[in-house]
Every structure is written in structure tokens, then in C-alpha cells.
Amino acid sequence: MTVHKQQNGGKMENLESLKNELVAQVQAAADIRQLEDVRVAVLGKKGRVTEMMKTLGTLSPEERKEAGRELNILKTEVETALEERKEALSAAELNAKLAQEKIDVTLPVRPENQGRIHPVSQIYEEVVAIFGQMGFEVAEGPDIEDDFHNFTALNLPPNHPARQMHDTFYLPKEANGSTDIDDSYIVRTHTSPVQIRTMEKQQPPIRVIAPGRTYRSDYDATHTPMFHQIEGLVIDTNITMAHLKGCLYNFIKAFFELDEIPVRYRPSFFPFTEPSAEMDIGCKKTKNELKIGAGTDWLEILGCGMVHPNVLRAGGIDPDKYQGFAFGLGLDRLAMLKYGIPDLRTFFESDVRWLKHYGFTPLDMASMTGGLSGNGGVR
Ligand code: DAH
């Protein structure tokens, strides 16, 4: 179609009906894609209106002025229609999307919690909750220790026979280049070095527990190369063995969630305590079951004693003025006993089926008021 062949009046009429036709096409576009097709067909490089624009060059200057003005009006009108339709379609599309993606908040939550707390973490929280209520603070020390803190300061000088029992992992001597045995590095064989590190940092009164990882070269159903212990240390001017007994008795009753539990202290030996003892609790052992809190059998639970004066001295505390008690217990072993887990190696296999069976739900936080192990040990 060309403009110049028509009379002025006819042309106007023609452009008016063309405008109506194009606007109708724009309005008929059902979605953004169709609208874009209409735009290209009308205003694109080879679009109807664009082609008409191209013929303007063949007109006389006056005709061109008039026709150009009218074509521009047409073009603007079509553009406006396109713009309006685009806005309407976008809004409709957005509304449709919103309606489709609407969340029904009345639907039930996901049927099953997947995450579980590992029994070691659970026991850790339980023990910290119990001692926390008795006024103990949590102390920490490094996993990579020097010989001095792990042995010598704990009254195990070089060549002491008790060192042999620890199956120590030694780190390469070159690690610090020293030939002095006290400076050589190991991974700590127990949490007892935290006793020394605490004494180095603070004077009595001291009342701390130190939970953490410990390492020994050993591997069977009840030993793994990495395991967990909790150390306890209380030092003040007037601490006696009676405090030790009362404190540990309260702990063990709270831990096993029992009102009464038979307890006995057996004389023992640890270089860092004098006297030393091991605490046993009453239980009933049958072939397939262990029942804690009743019966005529005994089960060893922890090692303890009055802190040896040499240990106080090594930690910079005057043994003529202060005395105290210490204890150490195996966290993993406690978990095995409390939750009936037969093999320690399974703790570290990262098997999610195992974790699902023995693990704890995250919202059951251990606390002395809200219940230690969730529903009182029933899961
Ligand atoms: N450190 C000892 C061990 O790993 C446990 C222990 C016994 C710690 C008696 C103590 C204690 O603090 O008094 O076998």
C-alpha cells in the first residue's frame, strides 16, 4: 500500500481504518509473544507501517510533510496501543503466576524430621547441663598437646611406667625441632592436660569441666583411635574427698535419670591423684542386657581422686594452701551404657541409618528442668 496515490480525504479514511485494524490486532494478542509478533508485523524492519514510511521519499515535499505527519500519528497510536496491551498482559501473567505459586499454609508440615543429634553430642550436652547446674564452667585445651602438659606436669615424668598405658600418637619431632622431651608434640591421650592449662590461667577457686576429643592407638568394639572424655577439676582451700563423693554421686543419679543408684569407690592408682579411686555403679548384668541402678553387679564408670601436690605445683598453685579433686570419664562409654549401643566403632561410621536409630531430635535440648534426654530416655 502506498500513500501518495490517494486523495487526501480517502487517505485519511484509509489510515483511520488501518489504525482500527492494527489496534484491533494489538488487542487480540492473547499473550506477550503474540503481541511481539504483531509489533514486528507492524513496526518491525519490514512491518506494514515501516514499509509505508519508506514510500514517503517518493512524494513531493508538501505531500511528504502531510503524509509523514499522519503516518507518525498512526505509528504513535499503534505504539501506545502496544504499550497498554503489554502492561495488561504482563499484569495478567503475573497474577496467573502468583495464583499458581500460592502456598497453602494450612497444609501439614513435612511428615518427618530428617536431622538427628549424634549420641556423643547429646551426652556432651547432658553432662554439661548437669555440671553447669552445680556451678562448673566449661574449660578447653588443644587437641595437639606438648609432652609437658599431657604427662610431665601430671606427675608422669619421662620414663614413668604409666606412660606406656597410654598408646600415645607421637607427632614428628621436626614439628618444633626441639630435643627436649617436654617440648615434643603428641595428640592428647586424655583431657587431664586441661587441668594444667586451667591452673596456669587462673588461681583457685576453680570449678571446671573439660569435655573434648582424645586419641590413643587402639581399635576394637570398645576402643577407637579418637574418643571423647570429660575432665573435672575442683580446687579451693577446703576441698575434701567428701566433696568428690557427693559431687559425683549427684552427677551419676542425674545422668542416669534415677532417684537412687548404688555407688562404690574402689582404691586405684593415677599418677596425678593421691589418693585415687574408681567409681563403680550398681547394675544387673545378664547375657543380653545391662540394667543400671539395681542388682548385685558393679560397673566401672570413672576415675577420680584428690589432686596430687606435684600437679598443683606444676600448675602454679600452692599445695600448702589449696587442695582439690579431679575426675575423668569416657563420654562415648557413657553413651553406650545409657543408650544401649553395643559397638563403639559404629559411632564414627557416619551411617545415617544408625544415626536415625540412636540419634536425638534437635528440639529435645538437654536441660535439668526440661528433661535431660528428651522424653526421659524414651525415644
Ligand atoms: N586421665 C585418666 C585416663 O584417661 C582419667 C582420670 C582418672 C582423670 C582420674 C582424672 C582422675 O582427672 O582424677 O584414664
Does the structure show a pLDDT above 80 at 7? no
Q: How far is the CA of 304 from the centre of ligand 1 (A)?
A: 6
Ligand 1: which residues within 6 Å by Cβ?
190, 192, 231, 270, 273, 303-305, 326-328
Q: How far is the CA of 275 from the centre of ligand 1 (A)?
A: 12
Question: Which atom, in ligand 1's list, is nearest to the CA of 325?
Answer: 13
pTM listed for this prediction:
0.69
Q: How far is the CA of 272 from the centre of ligand 1 (A)?
A: 8
Question: Which atom, in ligand 1's list, is nearest to the CA of 328?
Answer: 8
Q: Ligand 1: which residue has its CA nearest to atom 5? A: 328
Q: How far is the CA of 333 from the centre of ligand 1 (A)?
A: 14
Question: Which atom, in ligand 1's list, is nearest to the CA of 232?
Answer: 12
Run of H or E including 187 = strand 185-187
C-alpha cell at 28: 487480540
Q: How far is the CA of 106 from the centre of ligand 1 (A)?
A: 55
Q: Ligand 1: which residue has its CA nearest to atom 12? A: 327
CB 365 within 8 A of CB 286: no
Q: How far is the CA of 328 from the centre of ligand 1 (A)?
A: 4
Q: If pLDDT is split at 50, 70 and 90, which confidence band does 166 have?
A: confident
Check residue 378 and give its pLDDT: 40
pLDDT digits (tens, 9 = 90+) for 324-379: 999 999 999 999 999 889 889 999 998 989 998 998 888 777 888 777 876 444 44
Separation of alpha carbons 113 and 182, rounded Å: 49
Q: What is the mean pLDDT of residues 300-323?
A: 97
Q: What is the mean pLDDT of residues 265-291?
A: 93
Check residue 1 and give its pLDDT: 45
Q: What is the mean pLDDT of residues 231-258?
A: 96
Cα–chain center distance at 359: 15
Separation of alpha carbons 2 and 241, rounded Å: 114
pLDDT digits (tens, 9 = 90+) for 324-339: 999 999 999 999 999 8
Question: Which atom, in ligand 1's list, is nearest to the CA of 190?
Answer: 4
Q: Ligand 1: which residue has its CA nearest to atom 4? A: 190
Question: Which atom, in ligand 1's list, is nearest to the CA of 304?
Answer: 13
Sign of the torsion formed by the C-alpha atoms of 264, 125, 194 and 313: negative
Q: Ligand 1: which residue has its CA nearest to atom 8? A: 328
- Give the mutation target among 145, 155, 192, 300 for probing the ligand 1 site: most ligand atoms within 8 A of CB: 192
Query: What percentage of the chain's residues is helix, strand, coil (to nearest 5)?
Result: 45, 20, 35
String of DSSP letters for 5-60:
TS-HHHHHHHHHHHHHHHHHHHHH--SHHHHHHHHHHHHSTT-HHHHHHHGGGGS-
Separation of alpha carbons 152 and 12, rounded Å: 109
Check residue 173 and give its pLDDT: 72
Separation of alpha carbons 317 and 323, rounded Å: 9
